[in-house]
Amino acid sequence: MFKKNKARPLMILLLSVMLFCRQSDASADEGVVLALSGGGAKGLAHIGVIKVLQDEGVQIVGIVGTSMGAVIGGLAAAGYDGDELANIFQELDIYELFSDSRDGKTPSSQSKSIIRIGYDKEGRIVGRKGLMEGKGLYEEMLKYTAKAETYDFMKLPIPFAAVATDLKTGDMVVITKGNLASAMRASMALPGIFSPWPYEGKLLIDGCMVANLPVRVAKELFPDYPVVAVDVTGKLVTKEEIRSIVDVLGQTVGIVTAKNVQEDLQYSDFVIRPSVDDISLMDFSNASRIIERGVVAAAQEIENIKLLAANKVDETYTSAEKPIVKNVILTGLPDIEKTFIDEKRWWIGRPLSMALVNEALLELLRHDRVATADYKLLEDDEEVTVEFVVQRKPPKEYKFYGYSTNLSPYNRWVSLEYTGRDVLDIGDEANLKLWLGENTLAKASYMGREGSTWRFESDLAFQDWEISPENSGKV
């Protein structure tokens, strides 16, 4: 007969507590980092991957994204889950956002500019740096990223970094602070398609040129976690499959990025490849189908990913402490500087609100004379100065428009328009327009500023307009 050991229950209790604590400590360190590649519309598959990981309880402890991977990754890092991301991109009209004509001030579909040439103050030509400015897309990003109440991407609900390329040097630029929407827009500035994006004195283009699948960046930023690479770059197509300019663009991007993708893949701990080879670079017409490809690919590999990430852990995100606003500055738009700053003066002495900063950016972007707008946060101990930086449209600009239709002989015309800014005073605008076709119009207008709160406009016009109702002669 064994003698009863009174200390045994206490030892068992202590061992149980120690084991529980060890498991809790280990789980706090578990999870995976996602490296999300570029790939245009193919990148919507990232949403499906994120959705599956979240549904299966796999903790995403960091995201590094390039191009479309930066857009999806940035929104996920800001706090949108897979279902919310799917809803966003299923409802968005991506093509409308690309068109840069969402504010109602740009010409209608009947008067798209064929040629636009601008001149700076020294008389040098300033033309478009891309087919699309991406202004509408940037504005939409600002609305969604207002949810991120921090300018330090490492303090987002999921720590995040975006990869871009310095157009001057060709060097990689890893963005971990600042305006989240700006970082996403810079990372997807595909040369020739989107205009380069200004950032801290640099001109940035798509990160695909240096790291289209940023595994090594993810390893450097999150060295203690396994990196799951989500590769939607797709394969190169055959000569017969190249049927349009979009196909040519996609093939060119594939050729340029193939080497850096293969180099990064060697450093990944696991790779997910959604089946998106049949999706073209700009085919956003069926977001649900592309997202589902990501769901299928991640579901097939989920058990392997769980082995990397181990058990489900609770989210322990704590909002970053907000600095106090010390000052608000506006540079690049002197005619409204005083009014703008006066309206934001109440920010001073209060905790920084990124939602208010994004709203102010949207306000600036709606001005006729603004090409782009961004902000800098100048830190000083626990205080911060918010500096809004505006790039204005060129002081002189020529536009050539044209329109033709076979529906009516009275709807064919060409138009030449000249716009001069800061002609007689800062903030004014002169406009000359000549419209030739079945109808004729010559118009000169001047819009001046009286003080900082209101404007006046004067017009001089000549027109010879013909109205031709159906089945009748000229009226």
> Tens digits of per-residue pLDDT, 367-409?
877 888 888 888 888 898 999 988 887 777 777 766 665 555 5
Residue 474 lies in a domain: no
Q: In terms of C-beta density within 10 A (0-12 exposed, 13-18 middle, 19 or more buried), how is residue 445 classed?
A: middle
The C-alpha angle 229, 41, 230, rounded to 5 degrees, equals: 5
The boundaries of the domain holding residue 347 are 324-391
Which among 391, 420, 443 is the end of a domain?
391
Give yes or no: residues 142 and 201 share one domain.
yes
pLDDT at res. 414: 76
Give yes or no: residues 285 and 428 share one domain.
no
Which among 338, 373, 391 is the end of a domain?
391
Give yes or no: residues 352 and 438 share one domain.
no
d(CA 39, CA 213): 10
**CA dihedral sign of residues 19, 21, 24, 25:** negative
Give yes or no: residues 296 and 411 share one domain.
no
State the total domains in the chain: 3
Q: Please give the full DSSP string across 333-387, using - where no structure is assigned.
A: -GGGHHHHHHHHGGGTTSB--HHHHHHHHHHHHTSTTEEEEEEEEEEETTEEEEE
pLDDT at res. 105: 41
Dump pLDDT digits (tens) for 417-444. 877 777 777 767 788 888 777 777 788 8
Residue 147 near residue 79, CB atoms below 8 Å? yes
Distances (CA, A) of 349 to 151, 267, 385: 18, 47, 11
Give yes or no: residues 84 and 149 share one domain.
yes
Residue 185 lies in a domain: yes
Give yes or no: residues 204 and 130 share one domain.
yes
Which among 333, 356, 391 is the end of a domain?
391
Residues catalogued as catalytic: 67, 206
Give yes or no: residues 424 and 460 share one domain.
yes
Residue 379, domain CATH: 3.10.20
Tell which residue, 144, 175, 180, 145, has the closest CA to residue 162: 175
Tell me the pTM.
0.71
Give yes or no: residues 141 and 259 share one domain.
yes
Give yes or no: residues 163 and 240 share one domain.
yes
pLDDT at res. 416: 80
Which DSSP symbol is given to 394? P
Q: Can you give the length of the chain in residues?
A: 475
pLDDT at res. 396: 74
| Direct distance between the N- and C-terminal alpha carbons of the chain, in angstroms, rounded to an integer | 121
d(CA 40, CA 160): 20
d(CA 37, CA 233): 7
Below-50 pLDDT ranges, the chain:
1-28, 102-113, 311-318, 471-475
d(CA 358, CA 145): 8
Give yes or no: residues 138 and 257 share one domain.
yes
Residue 92 lies in a domain: yes
Residue 86 lies in a domain: yes
pLDDT at res. 467: 58
Give yes or no: residues 97 and 142 share one domain.
yes
Residue 75 lies in a domain: yes
Residue 18 lies in a domain: no
